[in-house]
Amino acid sequence: MAQNIALIPAAGIGNRFGAGKPKQYVDIAGKSVLQYTLDIFLNHSNIDIVAVVLAPEDQVFQVALAGKLQVYHCGGETRAETVRNGLAALLATGIASLEDNILVHDAARCCLPITALNRLLMEAGGRPEGGSLAVPVADTLKRAKHSMHINDSEHIKETVARGDLWQAQTPQLFPAGLLQRALSEVDLSKVTDEASAVEALGISPLLVTGDSRNLKMTLPQDEYIVRLLLQNI
């Protein structure tokens, strides 16, 4: 029977967040953002292994090692490289097989509701094309008109039809063999998430309805919202 393996890439430095430390190590009520994220999967009965992939030079990680937690210091320069390296380590050590489900989840997305995770496991688990949590785009979208002058402000070029647009979230779940193939054959500089790598193979992953509370902490103002969400989880 295929295992469900959570893979958490946590090798980023979080430049946009501007906290003076990687955003996954920001402290909220005595726990790091990364610890909150790991706990979601460590405490879920249908997740068999949790693998966190850190930068080779990471000396901050201090999470207590649990029975199903695996730690790898093989992060790459980009998120895609980190996921590729982490998956390779799981396969090389025999912890994962090509048939297992790999759930890649952002380290800074620490408010994932269990209901959304359960929905992904139920709807995408075992599907050959895999799937991703996502939510339909609700806001009106504008495309910018770029000025030829360096210091000019941006202006609206047009309104973008949003009828078929979804905002991708994580986890994104794929069979290990498919994900390995995608991250091996695709130009990683063009990969924005695992689904985009699989799409480049001509495969259409399943869209699984996510949750607006599944916020990724990217900008400084996100921390305030995350703190409020964590109080009510």
Which residues have C-beta within 8 Å of that of residue 170, sequence separation ≥ 6? 104, 105, 106, 109, 112, 132, 133, 193, 214, 216
**Distance (Å, rounded) from C-alpha 91 to C-alpha 224?**
38
Tokens of 106: 């952002």
The amino acid present at 48, given as its one-letter code, is D
Residue 68 lies in domain: 4-231
- Residue matched to tokens 């390995």: 180
Confidence category of residue 17, pLDDT binned at 50, 70, 90: very low
Tell me which of 97-106, 123-132, 214-223 is least confident: 214-223
Segment 145-170 mean pLDDT: 84
Tell me which of 88-102, 138-152, 164-178 is least confident: 138-152
Helices (H), the chain: 33-42, 79-92, 114-124, 176-185, 194-199, 222-231
Length of the chain: 233
User: What pLDDT sits at residue 154?
Assistant: 82
pLDDT one-digit tens code per residue, 36-56:
999 999 999 999 999 999 999
**Distance (Å, rounded) from C-alpha 41 to C-alpha 132?**
16
Q: pLDDT at residue 57 above 90? A: yes
Total domain count, the chain: 1
CATH number at residue 86: 3.90.550.10
Tell which residue, 136, 171, 132, 134, has the closest CA to residue 40: 171
pLDDT one-digit tens code per residue, 198-222:
999 999 999 999 999 999 998 888 8
Q: At what angle do helices 79-92 and 176-185 cross, to 10 degrees?
A: 130
**Bond before 171 cis per omega within 30 degrees:** yes
Distances (CA, A) of 5 to 60, 91, 137, 168, 228: 24, 11, 29, 20, 29
